[in-house]
Structure 1
Amino acid sequence: MFFALPFPMINPVAIAVGPIAIRWYALAYIVGILLGWFYAKKLAGKAALSWGWNPKLIEDFVTYATLGVILGGRLGYVLFYKPMHYLQNPGEILQVWNGGMAFHGGALGVIVAIIIFARVKKLPVFGLGDIVCAVVPIGLGLGRIANFVNGELYGRATDVAWAMVFPHDEKQVLRHPSQLYQAAMEGLILFLVLLVLEKKGMRKYPGVISGTFLAGYGVARFIGEFFREPDSFLGLLTAGLSMGQLLSLPMIAVGAFIIRQALQGSFAPARPAAATR
Structure 2
Amino acid sequence: MSFVIAFPNIDPVLVHLGPLAIRWYSLAYIVGILAGWRYMVGLAARPPYAATRAQIDDFIVWATLGVVLGGRTGYVLFYNLEYYAQHPLHILYVWEGGMSFHGGMIGVALAGYLFVRSRKIAFWPFLDLAACAAPIGLFFGRIANFINGELYGRVSDVPWAMVFPRGGPLPRHPSQLYESALEGFVLFFVLHFLWRVPAVRRRPGVLTGVFLAGYGLARASIEQFRQPDVQVGFLPGGTTMGQWLSAPMIVGGVVLIVYFLRRAPVPLTPRPDELQENAPKGGA
Which residue in the other structure is 1:192 paired with? 189
Which residue in the other structure is 2:48 paired with? 49
The residue identity in structure 1 corresponding to 2:5 is L
CA distance in 2, matches of 1:55, 1:244: 35
CA distance in 1, matches of 2:19, 2:73: 30
Tell me, which stretches of 5 or more residues in structure 2 are unaligned? none
**For structure 1, which segment, 6-15 or 180-189, has the greater mean C-alpha deviation from structure 2 after superposition?**
6-15
What is the aligned counterpart of 1:105 among 103, 121, 124?
103
Kindly indicate whether the alpha-carbon contact (under 8 Å) linking 1:144 and 1:182 is maintained by their aligned counterparts in 2: yes
The residue identity in structure 2 corresponding to 1:3 is F
CA distance in 2, matches of 1:122, 1:176: 46
The residue identity in structure 2 corresponding to 1:211 is G
1:87 CA displacement: 2.0
1:269 CA displacement: 9.0
Which residue in the other structure is 1:175 paired with? 172
1:84 CA displacement: 2.1
Kindly indicate whether the alpha-carbon contact (under 8 Å) linking 2:142 and 2:180 is maintained by their aligned counterparts in 1: yes
Query: Superposed, which structure 2 residues align to 1:53-132 within 5 Å?
Result: 53-132=51-130
Kindly indicate whether the alpha-carbon contact (under 8 Å) linking 1:261 and 1:267 is maintained by their aligned counterparts in 2: no
Kindly indicate whether the alpha-carbon contact (under 8 Å) linking 2:211 and 2:253 is maintained by their aligned counterparts in 1: yes
Cα 1:267–1:146 change in 2 (3 A) is farther
Kindly indicate whether the alpha-carbon contact (under 8 Å) linking 1:164 and 1:177 is maintained by their aligned counterparts in 2: yes
Superposition misfits of 4+ residues, deviation over 4 angstroms: 266-272
Task: Confirm whether residue 39 of structure 1 aligns to residue 45 of structure 2.
Answer: no
CA distance in 1, matches of 2:265, 2:251: 18
Q: Per-residue displacement from partner, 1:135-166 (whole Å, max 9, x unpaired)?
A: 11011011111111111111000001111101
CA distance in 2, matches of 1:144, 1:68: 19
1:208 CA displacement: 0.9
Cα 1:106–1:269 change in 2 (3 A) is farther
Kindly indicate whether the alpha-carbon contact (under 8 Å) linking 2:163 and 2:172 is maintained by their aligned counterparts in 1: yes
1:267 CA displacement: 9.0
Q: Please state whether the residue corresponding to 2:121 is helix, strand or coil.
A: coil
The residue identity in structure 2 corresponding to 1:263 is L
Q: Per-residue displacement from partner, 1:56-103 (whole Å, max 9, x unpaired)?
A: 211100011001001111111111112222222222222212221110
1:9 CA displacement: 1.6
The residue identity in structure 2 corresponding to 1:173 is L
TM-score, structure 2 as length reference: 0.91
1:270 CA displacement: 11
Cα RMSD after superposing both structures: 2.1
Which residue in the other structure is 1:20 paired with? 20
The residue identity in structure 2 corresponding to 1:210 is T
TM-score, structure 1 as length reference: 0.93
Count how many residue pairs are aligned between Structure 1 and Structure 2: 273
Which residue in the other structure is 1:217 paired with? 215
CA distance in 2, matches of 1:106, 1:257: 21
**For structure 1, which segment, 15-24 or 250-259, has the greater mean C-alpha deviation from structure 2 after superposition?**
15-24
CA distance in 1, matches of 2:106, 2:267: 23
Q: Please state whether the residue corresponding to 2:22 is helix, strand or coil.
A: strand
Tell me, which stretches of 5 or more residues in structure 1 are unaligned? none
1:266 CA displacement: 7.1
**Higher RCO (CA < 8 A, seq sep 6+):** 2
The residue identity in structure 2 corresponding to 1:235 is G
CA distance in 2, matches of 1:136, 1:107: 9
Kindly indicate whether the alpha-carbon contact (under 8 Å) linking 2:62 and 2:115 is maintained by their aligned counterparts in 1: yes
Kindly indicate whether the alpha-carbon contact (under 8 Å) linking 1:186 and 1:217 is maintained by their aligned counterparts in 2: yes
Kindly indicate whether the alpha-carbon contact (under 8 Å) linking 2:24 and 2:144 is maintained by their aligned counterparts in 1: yes
